[in-house]
């Protein structure tokens, strides 16, 4: 492998562990906390998880290690979208397992959860692991989105574990994957399989957080990477003074990524899906509010600006969601084939008009034609519109242009409006982890090994007090069932980890709300620059503005 100088330097970086895990394995003891309850629907969750529900919260502390001496064979999988730091979770897990007992083994199952079912694996050794320390990506074993959720899969996984003598599985994933980790843990316990399951909280989207999990890993690096790019664009916009940049940022559903980038870069506009839903805003209202900023800035001679659009925005627009639901109905069954067979767009448009309600058609007709067509191009395996593929940055810039043209005719807008479009997502998911993510991930993995060693099952590796220096971080574990409630999914009640949306009364949003009117008119851009790995702590070890505000 050809290595860049930064890659070589990062191999030499020693991730910082929480103070309480630094004493050496023999000096890590467990402090049992109070029994736990699920965040809602306690009776139902308890009935579904009779063997793993209600367990105690635990923290580690300095003290004599009282865990049983036993050889551990651990399997690890990466699940879902890439997030910076995944390699370090595995490195931390490996190092702790070897420090506990050099005979311990770590299996990496390839390609995500399917690797476990298909028994496709590697056994890690020092040489293998060392090539991935402090690097981005999930290429060490790959990832995948297969869900581990059926009894049949669990039975196969039990056999695979038996075959290799596996004593524990670590699942590195988001809310869905960790929900499934809890179900698998319960299955193992109920079947006395002798296998523990420990989860680690991953996702750049930042929506796996709650009163126990302060943030998912990868959010820090991904948002810093996007913020660097947005800051660079802001500086370009402020230099050329001729473009409005519409920048969509990843985050499938919640707007945490957009909000964090806005706090870092102070753009003129940042849409927050959760607010759009709460205020029941229409597409035209959103476009009009952006046009207001364009108009006011133009009046001050500034025909440029930056607008951040969260990837999941359109699903939060009530009228748009209703339209999508009608389109899904319209093309259900073999209607898609009938639609696709129509000779041209005007024939297709007639088909659409005849099938949509008047209100849905009103929304459909304000969309630019390329977006209208997109809605009928890409379908998911269930035949539904893939909302995440809609180019919402182009949708809003086109609608703003239409609105400004009207204002021009009315004589209220006399400026210029020329738009550029960007989508940042994959640019950040595999970046070299920031020092924060490198330290946090390594600690999560190390901590997961301690949870395994102490015999816990169905726990999420928990490292908290993250806005403080790593020395003061608190390591421990939380039963996953504590984070669960019952939600309706695909027509069925399911126990799931509650997804964290942006809280409109939370401090990060409140800070944004208090400043955005000024940012919309002034040029208040900040240019965060690239992630720094070496240099002063106040530059290199900073965590997100979101976490800093939440913990302030």
> Using CB under 6 A as the criterion, which residues of the chain lie in contact with ligand FBP when the complex forms?
80-81, 83, 174, 203-205, 250-252, 311, 388, 429
Q: Which lies closer to ligand FBP via its Cβ, residue 195 or residue 431?
A: 431
Phi and psi at 550, nearest 5°, equal -60, -35
Q: Sheet harboring 305-310: ordered strands across?
A: 269-270, 305-310, 244-249, 419-424
Is residue 275 within 8 A of residue 387, CB to CB? The reply is: no
Task: Compute the distance between CA of residue 206 and CA of residue 429 in angstroms, rounded to an integer.
Answer: 12
Phi and psi at 18, nearest 5°, equal -55, 145
Task: Compute the distance between CA of residue 142 and CA of residue 80 in angstroms, rounded to an integer.
Answer: 10
Q: Collapse the DSSP code of 366 into the 3-class scheme (helix H, G, I; strand E, B; otherwise coil) and give the result.
A: helix
The alpha carbon dihedral of 273, 275, 281, 284 has a sign of negative
CA distance readout (Å), 295 to 40, 236, 301, 407, 419: 47, 20, 10, 9, 14
CA 320, chain centre distance (Å): 23
Least Å from the CB of residue 300 to ligand FBP: 35
Least Å from the CB of residue 219 to ligand FBP: 10
User: Which residue out of 205, 220, 437, 439 is catalytically annotated?
Assistant: 205
CA distance readout (Å), 225 to 238, 534, 543: 20, 16, 13
Least Å from the CB of residue 158 to ligand FBP: 25
For residue 262, give the DSSP letter. Answer: H
Q: Which lies closer to ligand FBP via its Cβ, residue 97 or residue 184?
A: 184
Taken as a whole, the chain contains a residue count of 552
Q: Which lies closer to ligand FBP via its Cβ, residue 167 or residue 253?
A: 253
Task: Compute the distance between CA of residue 137 and CA of residue 85 in angstroms, rounded to an integer.
Answer: 8
Least Å from the CB of residue 388 to ligand FBP: 5
Q: Which lies closer to ligand FBP via its Cβ, residue 57 or residue 228?
A: 228
Task: Compute the distance between CA of residue 384 and CA of residue 325 in angstroms, rounded to an integer.
Answer: 9
Q: Which residue from 80, 51, 34 is spatially nearest to 182, judged by alpha carbons?
A: 51
Task: Compute the distance between CA of residue 283 and CA of residue 395 in angstroms, rounded to an integer.
Answer: 9
Least Å from the CB of residue 489 to ligand FBP: 15
Q: Which lies closer to ligand FBP via its Cβ, residue 81 or residue 92?
A: 81
Q: Which lies closer to ligand FBP via its Cβ, residue 15 or residue 428?
A: 428
Least Å from the CB of residue 529 to ligand FBP: 23
Query: 183: left (phi > 0), else alpha (psi -120 to 50), else beta?
Result: alpha
Least Å from the CB of residue 251 to ligand FBP: 5
- Residue 437 appears among annotated catalytic residues: no
Task: Compute the distance between CA of residue 480 and CA of residue 374 in angstroms, rounded to an integer.
Answer: 39
Is residue 45 within 8 A of residue 53, CB to CB? The reply is: yes
Least Å from the CB of residue 527 to ligand FBP: 24
Q: Which lies closer to ligand FBP via its Cβ, residue 98 or residue 252?
A: 252
Q: Which lies closer to ligand FBP via its Cβ, residue 96 or residue 204?
A: 204
Strand partners, 460: 199, 478
To which residue do tokens 């964290």 refer?
Answer: 500
Least Å from the CB of residue 172 to ligand FBP: 10
* Helix extents (H) in 300-344: 313-316, 318-330, 335-340
DSSP 385-452: B-GGGS-HHHHHHHHHHHHHHHHHHHTS--S---EEEEEESHHHHTSPPPHHHHHHHHHHHHHHHHHH
For residue 169, give the DSSP letter. Answer: E
Q: Which lies closer to ligand FBP via its Cβ, residue 209 or residue 252?
A: 252
Least Å from the CB of residue 53 to ligand FBP: 25
Q: Which lies closer to ligand FBP via its Cβ, residue 321 or residue 532?
A: 321
CA distance readout (Å), 364 to 135, 283, 384, 398, 402: 45, 10, 17, 14, 15
Strands 484-489 and 244-249: unpaired
Active-site residue set: 205
């Amino acid at each position: 492998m050809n290595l860049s100088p930064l890659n070589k330097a990062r191999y030499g970086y020693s991730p910082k562990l929480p103070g309480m895990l630094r004493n050496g394995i023999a000096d890590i003891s467990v402090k049992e906390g109070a029994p736990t309850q699920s965040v809602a629907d306690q009776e139902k969750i308890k009935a579904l998880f009779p063997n793993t529900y209600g367990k105690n919260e635990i923290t580690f502390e300095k003290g004599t290690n009282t865990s049983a001496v036993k050889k551990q064979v651990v399997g690890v999988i990466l699940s879902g979208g890439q997030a910076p730091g995944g390699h370090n979770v595995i490195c931390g897990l490996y190092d702790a397992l070897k420090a506990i007992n050099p005979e311990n083994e770590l299996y990496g199952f390839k390609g995500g959860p399917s690797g476990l079912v298909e028994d496709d694996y590697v056994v890690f050794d020092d040489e293998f692991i060392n090539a991935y320390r402090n690097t981005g990506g999930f290429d060490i074993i790959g990832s995948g989105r297969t869900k581990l959720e059926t009894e049949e899969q669990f039975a196969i996984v039990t056999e695979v574990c038996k075959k290799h003598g596996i004593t524990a599985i670590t699942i590195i994933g988001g809310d869905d994957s960790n929900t499934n980790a809890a179900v698998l843990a319960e299955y193992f316990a109920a079947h006395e399989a002798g296998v523990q399951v420990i989860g680690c909280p991953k996702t750049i989207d930042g929506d796996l957080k709650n009163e126990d999990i302060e943030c998912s890993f990868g959010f820090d690096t991904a948002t810093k990477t996007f913020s660097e790019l947005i800051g660079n664009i802001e500086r370009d916009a402020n230099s050329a003074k001729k473009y409005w940049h519409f920048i969509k940022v990843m985050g499938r559903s919640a707007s945490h990524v957009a909000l964090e980038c806005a706090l870092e870069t102070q753009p003129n506009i940042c849409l927050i899906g959760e607010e759009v839903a709460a205020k029941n805003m229409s597409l035209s209202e959103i476009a009009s509010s952006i046009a207001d900023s364009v108009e006011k800035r133009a009046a001050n001679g500034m025909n440029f600006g930056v607008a951040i659009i969260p990837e999941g925005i359109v699903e939060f627009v009530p009228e748009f969601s209703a339209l999508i639901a009608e389109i899904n109905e319209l093309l259900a069954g073999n209607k898609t084939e009938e639609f696709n067979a129509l000779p041209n767009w005007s024939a297709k448009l007639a088909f659409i008009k005849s099938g949509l309600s008047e209100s849905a058609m009103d929304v459909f007709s304000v969309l630019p034609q390329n977006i209208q067509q997109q809605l009928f191009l890409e379908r998911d395996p269930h035949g539904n519109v893939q909302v995440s593929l809609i180019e919402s940055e182009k949708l809003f810039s086109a609608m703003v242009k239409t609105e400004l043209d009207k204002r021009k005719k009315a004589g209220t807008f006399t400026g210029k409006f020329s738009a550029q479009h960007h989508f940042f997502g994959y640019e950040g998911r595999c970046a070299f982890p920031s020092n924060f993510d490198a330290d946090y991930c390594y600690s999560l993995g190390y901590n997961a090994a301690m949870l395994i060693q102490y015999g816990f099952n169905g726990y999420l590796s928990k490292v908290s007090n993250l806005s403080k220096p790593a020395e003061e971080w608190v390591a421990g574990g939380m039963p996953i069932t504590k984070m669960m409630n019952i939600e309706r999914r695909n027509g069925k009640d399911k126990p799931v980890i509650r997804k964290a949306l942006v809280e409109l009364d939370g401090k990060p949003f409140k800070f944004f709300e208090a400043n955005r009117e000024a940012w919309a008119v002034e040029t208040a851009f900040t240019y965060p620059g690239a992630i720094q790995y070496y240099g002063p702590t106040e530059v290199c070890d900073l965590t997100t503005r979101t976490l800093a505000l939440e913990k302030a």
